[in-house]
Structure 1
Amino acid sequence: MTVGAHSLPNELNRDATFYVAGHRGLAGSAIVRKLQSVGFENIVGKTSKELDLKNREAVFEFFAEVKPRYVVLAAAKVGGILANSTYPVDFLSDNMRIQVNVLDAAREAEVERLLFLGSSCIYPKWAEQPIREESLLTGHLEPTNEAYAIAKIAGILHVQAVRRQFGLPWISAMPTNLYGPNDNFSPSGSHVLPALIRRYEEAAASDAPAVTNWGTGSPRREFLHADDMADACLHLLENYDGPDQINVGSGTDVTIREIAETVASVVGFTGETEWDTTKPDGTPQKLLDVSKLAQMGWTSKIGLREGVERTVAWYRDHAGALRK
């Protein structure tokens, strides 16, 4: 049985050309590691200096020359609440151009299998917890990152449109909060977990008596190690063919206070943790319903403490080269 001229999902050909857009980022680098670990020999990645994905002509030329059989679109302009709320035009415009160029060029090149990587921020701010895939477009978005979310929603709809119009078996995956090697640990641009790792690591190194975190520590968040996410993405590419985006997560969440305690313990910080309750907490809970992925035979394998230990070790090995 085929979709258009292409086979339905099965084991991907390890000798085929596989392009990972965003191969040096948190998600993309994890996907490259996963592909290498299972025997893919021809993985292609280009830095933004080598190939500006916002340059439509350059992207089309790249696809025409390389002719990848498989693609994961993990390239995106990303950032935390501060960056998203300060530069909404950048987050909307850059991400829309990246997606439209890559998806259009991949369609013209008749890429056989493509996975578009989104973000859990696509779901409504007050979606019922845990958040099911069907919650997409059923309510208002979180205002602080709605520009980024709208771009990612457009990517999902673009993939669905390609399936309908051209019959290509492309899919989308929506990971929860990711962390791990090659994360952004900068004070102004990082998400909560890498920010906590840097904060506690610096406090431990300087023998600071206390660390102050924003809010009450009560909001609940789900975290997934990037290597787990990459494993799930390959599983989806080889086992799933459908128009709906699939949630990728651990299926469990912890409070911000609990994750802070875990980070403090891993880095060896023995001082006090204080909470500045004049600062906002954000959404009370954000947990994905991952039952569809579980029904396909995949569940996360890296526990939170193990994942934090791995990430702290990577951070220490690369601290000198990280963004300030």
Structure 2
Amino acid sequence: MEKDSKIYVAGHRGMVGSAIVRNLEEKGYTNIVGKTSEQLNLMRQEDVEKFFEEENPEYVFLAAAKVGGINANNTYPAEFIYNNLMIEANIIHSAYKYDVRKLLFLGSSCIYPKMAPQPLKEEYLLTGPLEPTNEAYAIAKISGIELCKFYRRQYGCDFISAMPTNLYGINDNFDLETSHVLPALIRKFHEAKVNRDKDVVVWGTGKPKREFLYVDDLADACVHLINNYSDDIHINVGTGVDIEIRELAAIIKSVVGYEGDIINDLSKPDGTPKKVLDVGLLESTGWNYSVELKEGISKVYEWYLTRNYNVI
């Protein structure tokens, strides 16, 4: 990309999209386009095509999506599959129709089978059943990968896909009904500290292992990939390092400064027992993560305290 190339970041106000915009601006890119959901309904094909015809972006980062944790995915599966299918299909097709030079589609590591070997390699896609609690979202993201692959194969489009691991960072969602585990725990421990609660409840056994990537690292990887990667194989983006949820809870407890106890609610689901990405392909392109977990959590908590939450 040239510094004055016209770049459209779909989902520019979300956690991932806003991080991509920050990274682009830090690197000196000056022609970045973003539209709010009020300005552009990405689920309406006619509106999306009109936007591409009028704006004619050269590069696209497809970070717009309906996202959530286990509870949200379990509760609203129809919304998760429909909204995400519509968004990605409309943008990818319009990118082809209006001659976008390159597009990067962002998926999720939940695309892999529940019991796939660890660490998760790119070739494990579609080799077994998915985790039931996020199957609808995973199917939508797999469809996005396949769209990019087949538009590349049939039309020669330079469309690539990146599959990030579990993300956290500035502009995360802290709603306890719809958020992922890390921001949910930050909020739980903070509110317990403010309210002087004796304990904090953590879902499940705490034994599942997860990998976490700071969103600004993901953004840096995305800009790196759009400049340095071109293949129909989707590429994993993560740290290659995982941690038990109970260890994660202990780190967050320490960062927040909460002094009570942690209680596990064994009636709640654990989800996939272990999930860590093989990042060998990513590293072969010359990129590595830089923000360690405790450092990233500290940054997020500092930001959280500025967002008009209850602060001691």
When normalised by structure 1's length, the TM-score is 0.94
Equivalent of residue 74 in structure 1, options 35, 52, 63: 63
Distance across 1 between alignment mates of 2:19 and 2:306:
17
What secondary structure does 1:116 align onto? strand
What secondary structure does 1:230 align onto? helix
Distance across 2 between alignment mates of 1:224 and 1:255:
15
Residue 109 (structure 2) pairs with residue 124 (structure 1): no
- The Cα shift of 1:82 comes to 1.4
Distance across 2 between alignment mates of 1:279 and 1:168:
44
Residue 182 (structure 2) pairs with residue 197 (structure 1): no
CA offsets 1:123-165 (integer angstroms, 9 cap, x no match): 1011100000000010111111111111111110000111111
Residue 295 (structure 2) pairs with residue 306 (structure 1): yes
Distance across 2 between alignment mates of 1:294 and 1:230:
15
User: Counterpart of 1:13?
Assistant: 2
Distance across 2 between alignment mates of 1:277 and 1:89:
27
What secondary structure does 1:137 align onto? coil
User: Counterpart of 2:32?
Assistant: 43
| Counterpart amino acid of residue 19 in structure 2 | A
User: Counterpart of 1:180?
Assistant: 169
Residue 265 (structure 2) pairs with residue 265 (structure 1): no
Structure 2 gaps of 5+ residues are none
RMSD, aligned CA: 1.1
Distance across 2 between alignment mates of 1:262 and 1:159:
38
Would you identify which runs of 4 or more consecutive aligned residues in structure 1 move more than 4 Å? none
Structure 1 gaps of 5+ residues are 1-11
Moved more, 243-252 or 265-274: 265-274
User: Counterpart of 1:276?
Assistant: 265
What secondary structure does 1:269 align onto? coil
Q: How does 1:82-93 map to 2 (within 5 A)?
A: 82-93=71-82
User: Counterpart of 1:96?
Assistant: 85
User: Counterpart of 1:61?
Assistant: 50
- The Cα shift of 1:279 comes to 2.6
What secondary structure does 2:2 align onto? coil
Equivalent of residue 142 in structure 2, options 116, 129, 153: 153
- The Cα shift of 1:320 comes to 4.3
- The Cα shift of 1:216 comes to 1.6
- The Cα shift of 1:168 comes to 1.7
CA offsets 1:59-81 (integer angstroms, 9 cap, x no match): 00000010000000000111111
- The Cα shift of 1:251 comes to 0.7
CA offsets 1:250-297 (integer angstroms, 9 cap, x no match): 110111011101101111101111212233222210000001101111
Moved more, 196-205 or 275-284: 275-284
What secondary structure does 1:171 align onto? strand
Q: How does 1:204-215 map to 2 (within 5 A)?
A: 204-215=193-204
Distance across 1 between alignment mates of 2:209 and 2:308:
28
- The Cα shift of 1:215 comes to 1.6
| Counterpart amino acid of residue 161 in structure 1 | F
